[in-house]
Structure 1
Amino acid sequence: MRDIRGILFDKDGTLVDFQATWFAIGDMLALQAAGGDRRKADALMTVAGYDFERHCFRADSVFAAGTNADIVALWYPQVPPAERAAMTVGFDRFTADEGAAQSVPLPGSREAIAALHAAGFRLGVATNDSTGGAEKTLLALGVAQMFDAAYGYDGVANPKPAPDAIHAFCDLTGLRPSQIAMVGDNRHDLEMAHAAGAGLAVAVLSGTGTRESLAPMADVVLDSIAELPGFLAAKG
């Protein structure tokens, strides 16, 4: 742990309040897919991972962990692959713009990022959102200048839980995977950390994951990234 020099963050649920940011966006897309039928839209939201009884997204669901391509495939199974690919481009544009415009930072996230940057850590984002969406969100949060890179599902050959984003970050920074901490709120974040041989797999409870679902794969479970600077300082 003393050799950790770089940190890759998941975006939604780790830097950004997932529930506050994404329900309205997902609902608009579901209504479009349902042709304006409210009941059908709610069914699409449910199958993609929204729990209407608990008013939150389910951990490791398509909404919480998947890509826009996964959502399009789930909601439009009858559409030919080429047409779905074109629809995914539209989803990417829409979610990039709306996700940035409506992004709600998690409490203490900006301060934690600033502290980690000041401490000399190389910072990046690895998300199953689009790369453009990640970059626009970092700009909207006012923290883009502190990040070396953002990797969306479309910025690497294979998205999370594959290790590609960690390998790309290592290529960029010259760090080894063992010098990287991966921080996220879903199991696929931790699966990517293990697949890449990352030095530290950090789970946070600020998103859709639970302690029960995350702890078996995490080196440490924190309430949020607000605790990360202090944790790394104490272990350094």
Structure 2
Amino acid sequence: MTQIKGILFDKDGTLVDFQATWHAIGDAMALEAAQGDRMRADVLMDAAGYDATGERFRADSVFAAGTNADIVALWHPGLTDGQRLAMIERFDSFCAIEGAAKAVALPGVLQAIRDLHASGIKLGVATNDSTAGAERTLLALGIAQMFDAAFGYDAVAKPKPAPDSVIAFCDLTGLKPSEIAMVGDNRHDLELGRAGGVGLNVGVLSGTGTQESLSPLADIVIGSVAELPTLLAAQG
């Protein structure tokens, strides 16, 4: 494969423990949307992709792969344009603050990021969270200075699975798409990689995706980002 000189990471489920970080936040948002009605909130959580029986988010669900705009559209379908934009702004702000405050890094990820940064590889984040949410989380985890960019859904014309984040990362770093690896735990992440023509599409099993859901789009599926430095070291 072409030598990889840059990596775009999904955030939740890839760098951050999705279940540990987002369940309480999503539940609080659902309760507010349901005006305190617990049963209604549970229905909203299920519709957005939370499996209460399995106590985890479903792969490729609105929660796992969508944006706050998608959640607002699902939970608040009758809003006017002005109300919808205000609600999205509220969701973005709430998630940026709470997501950073409650962020739990996946095991081994922080050291892997340090190792990759030390090797000279350019690092970026491509997430369907807001850009502010991504930046706050990287700061909270103590690794923001190692990343060249964070692209939220609001930083590009079209969010994942469109290729805009790959194009923006290439423009910023001067790298070719073939020199970039895309790493993520959902099909949206790998669809982004395919659409952007990246040199390596890496699925990770640390989030909501499964071997079955990721394999058709991935060049390789690994347990987590913790394995990535060893994988890339083999290319040189």
Percent of matched pairs sharing the same residue: 70
Residues 57-83 of structure 1: per-residue CA shift (max 9 Å, x gap) = 000000000000000000000111221
Aligned counterparts, 1:158-173, within 5 A: 158-173=158-173
Residues 21-45 of structure 1: per-residue CA shift (max 9 Å, x gap) = 0000000000000000000000000
Aligned counterparts, 1:1-236, within 5 A: 1-236=1-236
Q: Secondary structure at the match of 1:139?
A: helix
Question: TM-score with structure 2 length normalisation?
Answer: 0.99
Residues 118-142 of structure 1: per-residue CA shift (max 9 Å, x gap) = 1110000000000000000000000
Q: Secondary structure at the match of 1:125?
A: strand
Residues 178-197 of structure 1: per-residue CA shift (max 9 Å, x gap) = 11000000000000000010
What is the deviation of 1:101?
A: 0.2
Counterpart of 2:73 in structure 1: which amino acid? A
Q: Secondary structure at the match of 1:201?
A: strand
Counterpart of 1:104 in structure 2: which amino acid? V
Question: TM-score with structure 1 length normalisation?
Answer: 0.99
What is the deviation of 1:2?
A: 4.1
Counterpart of 2:168 in structure 1: which amino acid? A
Counterpart of 2:87 in structure 1: which amino acid? M
Length, aligned pairs only: 236
Runs of at least 5 residues in structure 2 that lack an aligned partner in the other structure = none
What is the deviation of 1:10?
A: 0.2
What is the deviation of 1:235?
A: 2.4
Give distance in 1, aligned partners of 2:44 and 2:156.
Answer: 28
Counterpart of 2:56 in structure 1: which amino acid? C
Q: Secondary structure at the match of 1:232?
A: helix
Q: Secondary structure at the match of 2:125?
A: strand
Instruction: Out of 72-81 and 147-156, give the one that drifted further.
Output: 72-81
Q: Which runs of 4+ in 1 moved over 6 A?
A: none
Give distance in 1, aligned partners of 2:12 and 2:194.
Answer: 20
Runs of at least 5 residues in structure 1 that lack an aligned partner in the other structure = none
Give distance in 1, aligned partners of 2:135 and 2:78.
Answer: 32
Question: What CA RMSD, in Å, does the superposition of the two structures yield over aligned residues?
Answer: 0.6
Give distance in 1, aligned partners of 2:3 and 2:234.
Answer: 13
Residues 148-204 of structure 1: per-residue CA shift (max 9 Å, x gap) = 000000000000000000100000000011110000000000000000100000000
Give distance in 2, aligned partners of 1:26 and 1:119.
Answer: 36
Counterpart of 1:15 in structure 2: which amino acid? L
